[in-house]
Amino acid sequence: MGQVVDAPVRKRGAKKPSAESAAVFIPENPTYEKLRKAALGCTACPLWKSGTQTVFGEGPVKAKIILVGEQPGDEEDLEGHPFVGPAGKVLDKALEEAGIVRGECYVTNAVKHFKWEPSGKRRIHKTPNAREVAACRPWLDAEIALLKPKVVVCLGATAAQALLGRNFKVTERHGELIETNSGFHVMATVHPSAILRMPDDEARHRERERFTEDLRKLKKLI
């Protein structure tokens, strides 16, 4: 773990410190509140400049399931909570159909700031790059270490590749329960936003079913 950091305090006008990795921001003996507060001041990658705020993970610290998305979207960035926008609604519905209570899960993202580019008045999601994912990774590691979940569910390729390696293919291996030597399983499945992007109702329905089927597999672990 890195040096002790509570929410970093800056003097007026002082330059924000930069760091290669969020590791330097991780507090010692972290509790959820210490982590969340410290993450609010994270400047480990340039995304803190474009995001409105850090969107840290949320949910009970005793959750057995951690759900990991890619990065907050437009609504999440404004509201400061993960998966509260359209993708969150898809996630909520699939969890409900799979018999899993969202309120009993911890929900977070591989990258904790919104990366976007302007398109007229809209902010269009941009996929975070490998450096941004790597810089943010210590937060996810700290969340996993604190919660000691039974299973970490990667929603989409960014989260899956962060935890399972750059060559991991969600299309080929979604729904597999992969045992780790850290005492928990990892499962990758589709990202709820990918379901929303499907070209027609039939494809959307098929992806939703696949997503829900994958989530049902978690029930045997909890």
69 lies in the site for ligand URA, by CB under 6 A: yes
The overall longest dimension of the chain from CA atoms, in Å, is 56
73 lies in the site for ligand URA, by CB under 6 A: yes
Q: What is the closest distance, in whole angstroms, from the C-beta atom of residue 110 to ligand URA in the complex?
A: 8
Q: Which is nearer to ligand URA, 5 or 187 (CB)?
A: 187
Q: What is the closest distance, in whole angstroms, from the C-beta atom of residue 16 to ligand URA in the complex?
A: 24
Q: What is the closest distance, in whole angstroms, from the C-beta atom of residue 51 to ligand URA in the complex?
A: 12
Stretch that binds ligand URA, among 76-84, 98-106, 143-151, 161-169 (CB under 6 A): 76-84
| CB-based closest residue to ligand URA | 69
Stretch that binds ligand URA, among 4-12, 77-85, 142-150, 174-182 (CB under 6 A): 77-85
71 lies in the site for ligand URA, by CB under 6 A: yes
Q: What is the closest distance, in whole angstroms, from the C-beta atom of residue 220 to ligand URA in the complex?
A: 25
Q: Which of 27, 51, 59, 72 binds ligand URA (CB under 6 A)?
A: 72
Tell me the C-alpha distance between 30 and 112, whole Å.
18
143 lies in the site for ligand URA, by CB under 6 A: no
Query: Could you tell me which of 49, 153, 159, 175 has the C-alpha nearest to residue 110?
Result: 159
189 lies in the site for ligand URA, by CB under 6 A: no
Q: Which is nearer to ligand URA, 70 or 143 (CB)?
A: 70
Q: What is the closest distance, in whole angstroms, from the C-beta atom of residue 197 to ligand URA in the complex?
A: 12
